[in-house]
Amino acid sequence: MALSDDKSLDGSMVGTTGDGTFSKLGTLPRLPLPDLSATLAQFEEWCAPLLSEQELAETHKAIADFSKSGGLAEQLHQALLAYDDTPGVFSWLDRFWPARYLGRRVAVSINANFFFLFRQQKKSQLRRAAELIACAVDYKQRLDQERVPVTMMRDKPLCMVQNKYLFSSVRMPGLIQDTISAPYSESRPGSSQAYHIAVLHNGYIFKLDVVDRDGEPYLLNNLETALQEITGLTPNHVSETRAAGLLTTLPRAHWSTVRQQLIAASPVNAADLECVEQALFCLCLDSRAPKGMLEAGDQLLHGDGANRWFDKSVSLVVLADGSAGINCEHSGLDGTTVVGFVDALHDAETLKRVMSVDGKSQYSPQFRPIEFKLNADLENEINQAAEAFFAFADDTATTLFSFGNFGASHIKSLKVSPDAFAQLAFQLAHYRVKGLIGATYESISMRHYDRGRTEAMRVVTQEVKDFVTTMEDADSSASNRIATFRRAAEKHVARARQCQIGQAPEQHLWQLQLMANEQSDEVGLDPSIDLFESPGWLKMRDDYLSTSSAPSKNISLFGFGATSETCIGIGYVVWPESISAYLSTPRSVEPAMHEFSRQLQHALVELEALLSTDDVQVGEG
């Protein structure tokens, strides 16, 4: 996985220790490049349920034109094969991921970053924060020594390269495309050498040392005392024209320009900016106590903007009542990696180590304020960023979905995959709200491949469409409804497995499109390709539902922003005994979102009652 032009994040620059954290890099299976003809056939199959007959015919013609023997598709695919075989290239998707994440020009706040709300603990804000700091430092030191175990799934190792983006990693704004500044790179070889974190409170920023100059972590109680002193210095919120964190809420190209203005405004700004950007992570201490779990989720998704540095890969957030979570910049990190980190933060052995005084520095942690020198132009930029951010946050509607009747344990007893059950319920509920079956994205983890990230699964199949149609037919029998449900669930599991073995069409075609754009000037290609303007390509990727699941016993909520003006974002977990989700959508879709939540309750109950009389088994995926 290469997320910028720097392709040195490969683990070869640091030694491995037998079965150490990064010992599997280069030994895991390489992500397969799908066959071109298979990709085109799958694409037509995947988009067909969303299209009218005329739209399908138009898309079919575009596919045929694109795939003519010796034509553009074959030329691009051959170029992709050659790229995949190039020394130093880890995956044919090495150029895809920078384009997908770092190429987007919209703000990362709400649009891209995701969050986890941790399980509640009855601790004060600063005690909880101190423990999280100490546990994160413990994890970082074990990661440096490659003593973090390789994550296993179904007895197979997963790629650990994303763990290199957990500490001292930041997304750097660019005019055309962003980059990632991270350790384990040519410019910063090896693990992070930073001793400090960035603490944000009431919009103010402080540099806080968390290990001493000998690399010894500070005592837990001393960290808590330092946080008390910091918050005592900032009892009131900084002026909205002075909160530099708000600049990270700007669209990326604009932020790139303003960042250069910030550096030019004063000699001290460059050093302070580097201090924030190379901090191990951010700790955001919010002065607001949430009134409930939904408000806690909203604070973790965006907060007030001033008390965040959204470019940082990891921001631990502790709210005024002691509830805590994490906000992550997505370019280098996927949910499964962050779940492993969060689990380590709450591991009993980790807590035992950080509570001990053995090997800890007895000195008080040093801290200092980071005070950017701002001129009138920069203050105006911050003020405008605040106005735009508040408007965007206000235009983001959210709600919680909580279903306690049953969960994965009971669903499995019905002989069906819990994920398929949930996704079919999503489709039925969505149709009952909007009267249509819309494109639905589901993220599939691909970390069982070397540098694997995620695959884009498209949930809507012809079997799903038949299932919804049958459920809405008042004359359909129970046996027919069960049969169509089973076929749709089987297809869902089969498609998920198809994705898991690297045989899905969307990212393959998207990469070919990117290559056509890149090569248009070099080889005289016309970058406009009918396939990528066809109804199939446009409709399949126009999300009405964007879904992802990342369960952990240490997490009570997972969420992210919607991906389009019509989209409902669904961060969901099918727990053993319940189902929960954080839903987000533009304010214009808020009534539909709330109705979707109500209809989803009904759909889950209805499907359970329907399947309770049936004992046919499908794969569990």
Mean pLDDT in consecutive groups of 10 residues from the start of the chain, 621 residues: 30 43 92 96 98 98 94 93 95 93 95 96 97 98 95 92 97 97 92 96 98 94 98 92 96 98 96 97 97 97 97 98 97 96 96 92 95 97 97 97 97 97 98 97 96 96 98 96 98 97 96 87 67 97 96 95 94 97 97 98 98 65 44
Asked if 296 and 117 touch (Cβ cutoff 8 Å), the reply is yes
Judge if pTM exceeds 0.85: yes
Residue 317 is predicted with a pLDDT of: 98
Distance CA 118, CA 135 (A): 14
From the number of C-beta atoms within 10 Å of its C-beta (0-12, 13-18, 19+), residue 184 rates as: buried
Residues linked to residue 558 through DSSP beta bridges, in sequence order: 116
Give the residue among 410, 553, 395, 442 at the shortest CA–CA distance from 46. 442
Residue 517 is predicted with a pLDDT of: 87
Give the residue among 537, 572, 246, 258 at the shortest CA–CA distance from 393. 246
Residue 254 is predicted with a pLDDT of: 98
Asked if 213 and 207 touch (Cβ cutoff 8 Å), the reply is no
Place of tokens 């069960």: 482
Residue 615 is predicted with a pLDDT of: 62
Token digits for 305? 């903007």
Distance CA 273, CA 13 (A): 27
Give the residue among 109, 562, 106 at the shortest CA–CA distance from 309. 109
Give the residue among 480, 424, 411 at the shortest CA–CA distance from 600. 424
Residue 519 is predicted with a pLDDT of: 75
Asked if 550 and 339 touch (Cβ cutoff 8 Å), the reply is yes
Place of tokens 């969307």: 506
Residue 17 is predicted with a pLDDT of: 37
Extract the runs of DSSP E, i.e. beta strands, from 164-235. 170-172, 179-181, 196-201, 204-209
Q: Contacts for 391-396 with beta carbons within 8 Å, 24 or more apart?
A: 392/107, 392/109, 392/110, 392/249, 393/110, 393/302, 393/305, 394/587, 395/586, 395/587, 396/110, 396/301, 396/302, 396/561, 396/562, 396/584, 396/585, 396/586, 396/587
DSSP secondary structure of 38-70: HHHHHHHHHHGGGS-HHHHHHHHHHHHHHT-TT
Amino acid identity of residue 134, one-letter, is A
Token digits for 309? 């540095």
